[in-house]
């Protein structure tokens, strides 16, 4: 015992040498973290726990709700709202896709060809967001109205009959169709796609593109082999920032859609605000959506393998 050196004892002794500094040094980071921890607890942890607990309660507004661990709420939440889940997923995936398709060229153009106008162009992308989300969506009602410019152009170009055959629009209308919902969502979420894309594209050294050009890449191959891989963090960030809020969005479906374009958000609102005993099932749907989105996003990030790029 006396001859064998015990490393744990040695370490403890060595650590104990400056006793004055040790406690203070360990406390500081926690103190610095405190405001953030409080914020997270109040605005994130407590609401989530409330939702989760509400999702297994029973009761109604008049008699109050009790925690009865009624897992049956989840059975309802999953079984009865298939159409809404389908619409939410479809619209948000389409929105993400169109936002990327429209946003990438815009971000690319601003980042590489914007020159001294870069900041102004980016401001133009963001400025519309200074107006309320709701007002801008209502404005789309006018744009897509039957007498509006969009319907006029589509009609004269005979595109409306095509979209109608595909089931995207109905009866010569654009407003109150699935197409209108996706239109509104794409419009509303486009800046969220463009911003991260721009940031990652802007970081790319243009000399790398010259190097690609020098090493037998045409403009397209240079984009494919160099620009795209280097802008992947932006693509992933942009699509996530679009997809996550788009899944939960119901304003667009409410204002620009019809009774057949119901999304999950509308159902939750309905259960929360208009049905006396809808609270638990509404919460259960929220939790299902949250977990579902989380799983999707995690597998997306895992698959896209961003750790290397970020």
Partner 1 sequence: MSSNDVLGRTEGGDLRLVGLTKRFGAFTAVDNLDLTIPQGSFFALLGASGCGKTTTLRMVSGLEDPTAGQIFLGDAEVTDTKPYRRPVNTVFQNYALFPHLDIFENVAFGLRRRGFKSVKQPVEAMLELVELGHLAKRKPNQLSGGQQQRIALARALINQPQVLLLDEPLGALDLKLRRQMQIELKRIQTEVGLTFVHVTHDQEEAMTMADTIAVMNQGRIEQMGSPAELYENPATTFVANFLGQSNLIPGTVEGVDGDVVTVSAHGRTLTLPAARCRATSGTVILGVRPEKVQIAETEADVPSGFNSLSGTVVDTSFIGVSTQYLVNLPSGEEVSVFEQNTGRAIQRPGNEVVIYWDPSQGFGLDGTQDIEAGAVLDEEGAA
Pairing of strands 57-60, 64-67: antiparallel
Beta carbons within 10 angstroms of residue 226's beta carbon: 18
Interface residue with partner 1 among 41, 60, 68, 218 (CB under 8 A) is: 218
User: Quick one: which of 185, 186, 194, 226 contacts partner 1 (CB under 8 A)?
Assistant: 226
Does position 230 interact with partner 1 (CB under 8 A)? The reply is yes
Complex with partner 1: residue 6 or 210, whichever CB lies closer: 210
Under rule CB under 8 A, residue 205 binds partner 1: yes
Q: Is 260 in the site for partner 1 (CB under 8 A)?
A: no
The yes or no reply on residue 214 touching partner 1 (CB under 8 A) is: yes
The binding track of 164-203 with respect to partner 1, each residue x by CB under 8 A or -, is ----------------------------------------
158 binds partner 1 (CB under 8 A): no
State which residue, 130 or 216, has the beta carbon closest to partner 1: 216
d(C-alpha 66, C-alpha 57), whole Å: 5
Least distance between partner 1 and beta carbon 102 (Å): 25
Tell me which residues in 279-308 interact with partner 1 (CB under 8 A): 308
Q: How far is the CB of 304 from partner 1 (least distance, A)?
A: 13
Contact between 37 and partner 1 per CB under 8 A: no
221 binds partner 1 (CB under 8 A): yes
Q: Residue 91: name the closest of 225, 197, 189 by CA.
A: 189
- Work out which of 120, 126, 208, 294 binds partner 1, going by CB under 8 A: 208
Binding site for partner 1 (CB under 8 A): 205, 207-208, 210-218, 221, 225-226, 229-230, 308-309
């Amino acid at each position: 015992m006396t001859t064998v050196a015990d490393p744990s004892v040695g370490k403890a002794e060595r650590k104990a040498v400056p006793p004055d500094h040790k406690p203070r040094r360990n406390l500081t980071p926690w103190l610095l973290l405190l405001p953030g921890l409080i914020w997270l607890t109040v605005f994130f942890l407590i609401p989530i726990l409330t939702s989760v607990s509400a999702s297994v309660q029973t009761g109604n507004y008049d008699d109050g709700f009790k925690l009865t661990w009624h897992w049956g709420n989840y059975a309802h939440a999953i079984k009865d709202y298939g159409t809404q889940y389908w619409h939410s997923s479809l619209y948000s995936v389409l929105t993400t896709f169109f936002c990327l398709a429209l946003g990438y060229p815009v971000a690319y153009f601003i980042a590489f060809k914007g020159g001294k106008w870069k900041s102004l162009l980016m401001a133009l992308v963001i400025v519309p967001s200074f107006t309320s989300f709701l007002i801008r969506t209502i404005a789309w009602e006018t744009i897509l109205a039957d007498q509006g410019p969009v319907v006029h152009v589509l009609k004269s170009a005979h595109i409306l009959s095509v979209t109608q055959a595909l089931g995207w629009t109905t009866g010569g209308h654009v407003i109150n169709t699935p197409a209108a919902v996706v239109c509104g969502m794409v419009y509303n979420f486009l800046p969220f796609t463009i911003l991260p894309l721009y940031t990652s594209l802007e970081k790319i050294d243009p000399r790398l593109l010259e190097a690609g050009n020098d090493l037998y890449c045409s403009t397209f191959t240079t984009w494919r082999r160099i620009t795209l891989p280097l802008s992947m963090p932006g693509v992933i960030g942009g699509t996530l920032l679009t997809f996550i809020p788009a899944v939960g969005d119901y304003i667009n479906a409410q204002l620009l859609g019809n009774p057949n374009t119901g999304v999950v958000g509308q159902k939750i609102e309905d259960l929360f605000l208009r049905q006396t005993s809808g609270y638990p099932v509404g919460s259960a749907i929220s939790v299902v959506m949250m977990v579902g989105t989380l799983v999707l996003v995690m597998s997306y990030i895992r698959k896209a393998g961003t750790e290397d790029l970020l």
